[in-house]
Amino acid sequence: MRATSTEATSIGVDVGGTKILSVALSPTGAILARKKIPTPQQIDSAIGNPVGSSVAAAVAETVAVLAAEVGLSPTTCALGLGVPGMVDHSGTLIFAPNLHGAIGANIAHLVGDRLNRAEVGVDNDANCAAVAEHHFGAARGVDHALLVTLGTGIGGAAIINGQLLRGAHGFAGEFGHLMVDPAGPACPCGGKGCLERYASGAGLRHLSTEAAAKGELSPEAAESPESLFNAAKSGEHDALAVVDRFCWWLARGIANLCACFDPELVLLGGGVLEGHEIVLGPTSQYLRDELEGGQHRTPPRLEATALGPDAGAVGAALLGERTKR
């Protein structure tokens, strides 16, 4: 059954630590169908890389269902995957704090085997999202853009001269793990004081907990990022101060990225900001202050992503098309 008269030509899958989102995409970027399933957490002890193989099985199954729905063959259609971690040029997930059990797995190969096909594109999820925003979203026509996605951690990607930066091994854009405080809290990556300890969902929790422990935030507001934002929106002074601190850290992190890349545009996305685009204003202001030579230059534009939570899956579909060619 076709959702519209436009033809789907590719399928993209965004494999997250908690859910797997698949979309069927038209050549103009229209999403003709989508599926969302939970990411399997169980361990399949019969096979070499346990969680990797159960994730691959779930991906293959959801792709087969989605393909049937839009009249594509799961064996021959363009297919790409976005995964939350560092993917090397062979497609192997070499490091993934949020999909730990899949480290060492080549999910593209595992999915390909189950669907009886060879070409499956795979890349880091933020890289996929950046490609999608550059093709169809808020970075269209921009040659130098960064994407910073704020979820539990921070995802990142750089568009340079109109091309995605993958780096020598495929690991560029790991913006969440820039160390910004040698006295900062430990990070699941093994480091300490990483940017994502301050300027992500986990960062908001850290800043809230810290403030609450000092008696500078009510326990209710400190409960979750959502409750913090709600308290801030209702004008609670202490909550506003924590959100302000979060904006400073985010701006400071972006200023570090600007020192490296000098982008024209920085796109902010991810679940943490959804409905809370209010932080863009103060973050822009802090960025102007923190930018080297800020008084002598135009700071980059700071904008919300256009494709929202679909960006990763849309970019994976684009990657699938490139892989097929």
Q: How far is the CB of 229 from a second copy (least distance, A)?
A: 23
Query: In the complex with a second copy, which residue's Cβ is closer, 37 or 165?
Result: 165
202, exposed or middle or buried, with CB in 10 Å at 0-12, 13-18, 19+? Answer: buried
Please state, in angstroms and rounded to a whole number, the distance separating the CA atoms of residues 283 and 308.
19
Q: How far is the CB of 134 from a second copy (least distance, A)?
A: 14
Q: How far is the CB of 268 from a second copy (least distance, A)?
A: 17
Query: In the complex with a second copy, which residue's Cβ is closer, 87 or 204?
Result: 87
Q: How far is the CB of 91 from a second copy (least distance, A)?
A: 15
What single letter denotes the amino acid at residue 36? Answer: K
* 134-148 core/surface letters (b: 16 or more CB in 10 A; e: else): bebbbbeebebbbbb
Query: In the complex with a second copy, which residue's Cβ is closer, 10 or 284?
Result: 284
Strands 31-38 and 19-25: antiparallel
Q: What is the largest CA-CA distance in the chain?
A: 61
Residue with tokens 């854009």: 173
Q: Which of residues 183-222 bind a second copy (CB under 8 A)?
A: 183, 189-191
Q: Indicate which single residue of 17, 121, 153, 173 sits in contact with a second copy (rule: CB under 8 A).
A: 173
Please state, in angstroms and rounded to a whole number, the distance separating the CA atoms of residues 228 and 204.
8
Q: How far is the CB of 159 from a second copy (least distance, A)?
A: 11
Q: Indicate which single residue of 261, 270, 286, 309 sits in contact with a second copy (rule: CB under 8 A).
A: 261
Does 241 participate in binding a second copy (rule CB under 8 A)? no
Query: In the complex with a second copy, which residue's Cβ is closer, 257 or 319?
Result: 257
Q: Indicate which single residue of 111, 129, 147, 257 sits in contact with a second copy (rule: CB under 8 A).
A: 257
**Tokens of residue 35, six digits:** 């599926």
Contact range with a second copy by CB under 8 A, out of 11-19, 52-60, 180-188, 269-277: 180-188
Q: Partners of 270 in the beta sheet? A: none
Angle between the 201-213 and 225-233 helix axes, to the nearest 10 degrees? 70
3-class secondary structure, 137 = coil
Q: How far is the CB of 156 from a second copy (least distance, A)?
A: 8
Q: Which of residues 107-166 bind a second copy (CB under 8 A)?
A: 143-144, 158, 160-161, 163, 165-166
Angle between the 107-115 and 50-70 helix axes, to the nearest 10 degrees? 50
Number of residues that bind a second copy (CB under 8 A): 51
**Tokens of residue 199, six digits:** 């300027």
Query: In the complex with a second copy, which residue's Cβ is closer, 173 or 309?
Result: 173
Write the DSSP symbol of residue 7.
Answer: P
**Tokens of residue 107, six digits:** 């999910």
Query: In the complex with a second copy, which residue's Cβ is closer, 45 or 298?
Result: 298
Q: Which of residues 265-324 bind a second copy (CB under 8 A)?
A: 290, 292-294, 296-298, 300
Q: How many CA atoms lie within 13 A of 262 on its CB side?
A: 6
Interface residues with a second copy (CB under 8 A) are: 86, 88, 94-95, 103, 143-144, 158, 160-161, 163, 165-175, 177-183, 189-191, 252, 255-264, 290, 292-294, 296-298, 300
